[in-house]
Structure 1
Amino acid sequence: MLHTLLSRVTRGNGFYIGDIFHAAARRDATTQITLDRPPQYAPDRGTHFTVGQLADQIDELAARLWAVGVRPTERVALYKSDDFDIALLACAAARIGAVPALLSPALDGAVAHELLVRLEKPWLLTDGDTLAGKLRGVPLADDVRQVLLSAGTAPPDLVAETADRTVEPIALAEYADAPVPEPVFLHPRQPSLITHSSGTTGIPKLAVHCPEAGWHRLVPQRVVSWPIRGKETAALCMTFVHSRFYQGLAMFLSHGNPMVIAVDPHPDKIGPLFVRTRPGYIETHPNTYIDWEELDHAPGAPLSSVRVFGATFDAMHPRTIQRMLAASRHRRPVFVQFYGQSEIGPMAGRWYTRRTAHKADGRCVGLPLPGFVSLRVVDDSGRRLGPGRSGHLEVRSRTRILTYLGEDERFRSELRDGWWRVGDTGYLDRRGLLHLMDREVDRIDAVDSSLAVEDLLMGRLEELREVVIVADPRGEPVPVVATRGEAPLDESRWRRATVDLPPMSAFRQLRFDDLPRTSTRKIQRSELARRLWEEHPPPGGMRAVPDTTKGA
């Protein structure tokens, strides 16, 4: 009944990233936004802006794109150096009805090229550094319509050629005085944004979003954020190529909250920024929160002003939740956690206080969002399982993407009578709370839940900065660890911490920066396993590590 009512009330609404800043400016153009570094395309403009000023900059960039020849429904691939101007350029492309396709700066050139091919000759919007670096040697002329430069210059020896044409990069700065075109709003069910999955298990998938699904994702998040509307400075430090960033922008700009937007998550940089700006809400990737644990006693108490901590993407380690809440000087700080996926958006959520954080179960990600998401647990044959029984998670919602670009058959293979196979395993308890076990592709027979074991180890060994359990080629669990300061992990402490855990092989210690990661800082487990066994084959010989590609 609730699903039907919401469907009738919300039909025809859309979430348009090209209108985020303009809609906020219509309400109050003076709302302040602070950046940690100037936009790359206009470094002379500084780091302090009003919403109205950023809306004007988006108009300026949209005018340049229109003058170059970009038109509604055409795809514009953004693959450039990591900077907030990724968001400004994406909003500008969307403002004129084009479809921005956001490719992470963390992707190497070969993977980015494969995605460009899948985008079927898009406009490529990049910068001089990326052309001279990751894209050097990539055959762009065959696979893009035109190369557009947001900043910098193309290397003098870089001219992309094919048998029948030459592609010379065009600098958007040459069109600085172009007239501003009228905004274009696509149909609510029309493709309007393309992002990619995290690529934890292979080449990322290109997720095609539409305005209607984006709007349904945003509504419950606006409801949750209502208590801090306009009251707190909201700080976001997350990848600019994930749809969640634009939802976060819209959520707080619609409430009139001042904002802080950071590119660099390093504690040495983010700490002083938070001391200067004193945010009341912060949100970043779960793995970035682990690094921010050291801010609990940093000079100036950078987390002391935080009233609400927000996290999406993945489940959080309980230790990290406890450290964040302890660092706040508010009387009743809250840690809000959403569990979500690129294809669906937020699916379940819960919150913790200081009184409940010590009992936090890292595997419990909360209640499925009522009215927006229906969730069930099924066995291998698709039969629904009762409370407490672990199986495959499936979701029915209006927040689902349209398809995987160029892989529609693959997308539809995960649908069963309108239910989307999430790719995670877990169970619902008798209270309806969702508990995650593992990714389907990461299951290890000898361990009920690798993620649960990792939570326990992070709680027992504070020196751990990361722990990941992967399977060796014989299917045996192998813990891979990284420590704070890269100090050697004490083997006696490890033995005491694992005495009551399932038997595992001896741990492998790597440098933190050598762990392969996605744009949202997830560990690429299959890639990590592949590297380990290529460099250090286990006794008894090697067999191929499975090349799995399910998961986001």
Structure 2
Amino acid sequence: METLRLDPGRELAVHGERRLSAGEFAELVDRMAHALVALGVERGATVTLLSGNLPQTLAARYAAHLAGCKVNHLYSGISAALQAAIVRDVETRVLIVDPRLTGRAKEITDAAPVRHLLVLGDPGRTGGQDLLALADGQPDSAFPARCRPEDICVIRHTGGTTGRPKGIVSAFDQAARISRVMTPERRGADGALRQLVCTTLAHAGGMMADGVLRAGGSVVLQDGFDAGEVLAAIERERVTCLFLLPPLLYQLLDHPDARRRDLSSLTTVTYSGCQASPARLASAVRRLGPVLVQVYAQNETGGISVLTARDHDLTRPERMRSAGRVLHGVEVAVRDAAGRDLPAGEQGEICVRSPGVMRGYWKQPELTSQVLREGWVHTGDLGRLDEEGYLTVVDRIKDMIVVVGGHVYTTELEDLLNSHPEVSQSAVYGVRDADHVERVHATVVTVPGAGVRAGDLRAMVRERRGPLYEPARIDFADSLPLTDAGKPDKKLLQRRARERAGTPSPA
């Protein structure tokens, strides 16, 4: 908050036609914090957000933190039933709602009542109160922070679509560490740091926004990802940085406006969240220049490693298959199934220890004890460290496909498919057949006008990787379905494949 008050006249947030100065934003945060306390919201209570990328969303989150509350931000793309389960699970005291989502808010609170339902504007028929109106009646004096570094800052749920959601608990000091990792080091030519937020504030885009604002920068908020709108905003607002998941980066590069828009203001395009294709990254470097930065992180661990812009070297394409060097202050061990550390170059589970690891899973002590052992988070990722200290993530252990005769690493097969000149994106996943045998399936998005056929791609895989990796089925799609966080939704693809084959879902 002190950073905001140092230069109150600077532009801090843009959303549509609205432009908000740092002073206006700081006053809004203070008034909201006073309003929460006036309602009787206690220190340590849980505030849950159901909101899109509004300036008021950021302000509400910061106000809740100032009031000493822990915050949970719901993904908007999951079902009302799952949202209600999360609201109930984290013992939500206050639900703060985007006025565009009041209908969904009523569905949630009918199933999971809360003490205070607050809307960032007209509450409509929700039975809630207008938080902005409540804030207007409060003093604009600086609110004295009631939070402490060791307090719980956030309970962030995984974006899974089945089973009990996992709430990952992080303290304020742990959340600040990942925010610093996400903060771009390079500014624009005029010294500006200007982020375009085009993915949900509930995910990594929000972590980057925290760091950008703390560093004296500003944010341009869009309600969702649309490649054409993103390209236009970069040019119009002279954006210097943004966060994208790899599938969204590919959509940006493939958009017809990508070559005619002025993207010269960009200094950093951070990508993370799922594996990226080295072939597509090379194309991005050729198009955008040396601006790509990969951050390898998990909510459970915080930041683990970074592949810098310099590491995106077209003369060393193999380097772009790695996740970069391990961050200072982070320990990484690659271990076998018995828990023994493996030497450089050998493959095993990536385990991480650092001050940024989670407290644990919310109200799931058994799961916490399985994943967090003696200070080490067992990530569930397969990988290896080389002699130069570069970490390569081979696959998620759960995504690895066990086939007759061996294992298929989905990311390796995706990299191979994406290297075909007529393939834009791909997703590889395992599907059990009627005999309960795992089969390799792939869904492929081709470039416009492509004539490649499934048999051509299977032949390429058979030639370069052998019959073990050859997909039993390749489907073509106009686009890959994505989760609310922006990752390829392989669970949905698997379900569709089972429905086509008439195979029941696994128990």
TM-score when normalising by structure 1: 0.81
Q: How far does the alpha carbon of each residue in 1:253-277 deviate from its partner, in whole angstroms, 9 at most, with x for none?
A: 3433344333332112112111212
C-alpha contact 2:11 2:20 (8 A) present in aligned 1? yes
Residue of structure 2 equivalent to 1:185: 146
Residue of structure 2 equivalent to 1:320: 280
Q: Secondary structure at the match of 1:225?
A: coil
Residue of structure 1 equivalent to 2:327: 369
Residue of structure 1 equivalent to 2:293: 336
Q: Secondary structure at the match of 1:269?
A: helix
Q: Secondary structure at the match of 1:185?
A: coil
Task: Compute the displacement of 1:215 (Å).
Answer: 3.1
Change (3 A) 1:276 1:241: closer
5 Å matches for 1:205-220?
A: 205-220=166-181
Task: Compute the displacement of 1:511 (Å).
Answer: 4.7
Change (3 A) 1:384 1:238: farther
Decide which moves more: 104-113 or 225-234: 225-234
C-alpha contact 2:247 2:486 (8 A) present in aligned 1? yes
Change (3 A) 1:73 1:216: same
Q: How far does the alpha carbon of each residue in 1:10-45 deviate from its partner, in whole angstroms, 9 at most, with x for none?
A: xxxxxxxxxxxx2322332233235342xxxxxxxx
Q: How far does the alpha carbon of each residue in 1:350-384 deviate from its partner, in whole angstroms, 9 at most, with x for none?
A: 124574376145541011112x2101111111111
C-alpha contact 1:200 1:525 (8 A) present in aligned 2? no
Aligned mates of 2:326, 2:177 — CA distance in 1: 14
Aligned mates of 2:215, 2:53 — CA distance in 1: 27
Change (3 A) 1:33 1:139: closer
5 Å matches for 1:338-487?
A: 338-353=295-310, 355-356=313-314, 359-370=317-328, 372-446=329-403, 447-473=407-433, 474-483=437-446
C-alpha contact 2:4 2:216 (8 A) present in aligned 1? no
Aligned mates of 2:340, 2:190 — CA distance in 1: 46
5 Å matches for 1:298-309?
A: 298=258, 300-309=260-269
Change (3 A) 1:79 1:251: closer
Give the letter for the 2:123 counterpart: T
C-alpha contact 2:252 2:258 (8 A) present in aligned 1? no
Task: Compute the displacement of 1:229 (Å).
Answer: 9.8
Task: Compute the displacement of 1:180 (Å).
Answer: 4.4
Change (3 A) 1:443 1:510: same
Aligned mates of 2:282, 2:139 — CA distance in 1: 52
Give the letter for the 2:473 counterpart: A
Residue of structure 2 equivalent to 1:533: 498
- % of aligned pairs identical? 21
Residue of structure 2 equivalent to 1:5: none
Aligned mates of 1:73, 1:486 — CA distance in 2: 56
Q: How far does the alpha carbon of each residue in 1:368-427 deviate from its partner, in whole angstroms, 9 at most, with x for none?
A: 112x21011111111111122211111111101212212132112212222110111111
Residue of structure 1 equivalent to 2:457: 494
- Matched length: 494
Task: Compute the displacement of 1:348 (Å).
Answer: 0.7
Q: Secondary structure at the match of 1:48?
A: strand
Give the letter for the 2:269 counterpart: F
Aligned mates of 1:389, 1:186 — CA distance in 2: 44
Residue of structure 1 equivalent to 2:118: 148
Task: Compute the displacement of 1:347 (Å).
Answer: 0.2
Q: Secondary structure at the match of 1:442?
A: coil
Residue of structure 2 equivalent to 1:77: 48
Aligned mates of 1:218, 1:131 — CA distance in 2: 30
Residue of structure 2 equivalent to 1:509: 476
TM-score when normalising by structure 2: 0.87
Residue of structure 1 equivalent to 2:249: 289
Does residue 120 of the first structure (1) align with residue 81 of the second (2)?
A: no
C-alpha contact 1:149 1:169 (8 A) present in aligned 2? yes
Residue of structure 2 equivalent to 1:170: 129
Residue of structure 2 equivalent to 1:13: none
Residue of structure 2 equivalent to 1:273: 233
C-alpha contact 2:200 2:224 (8 A) present in aligned 1? no
Change (3 A) 1:83 1:498: farther
More contact order relative to length (CA 8 Å, sep ≥ 6)? 1
Aligned mates of 2:368, 2:449 — CA distance in 1: 41
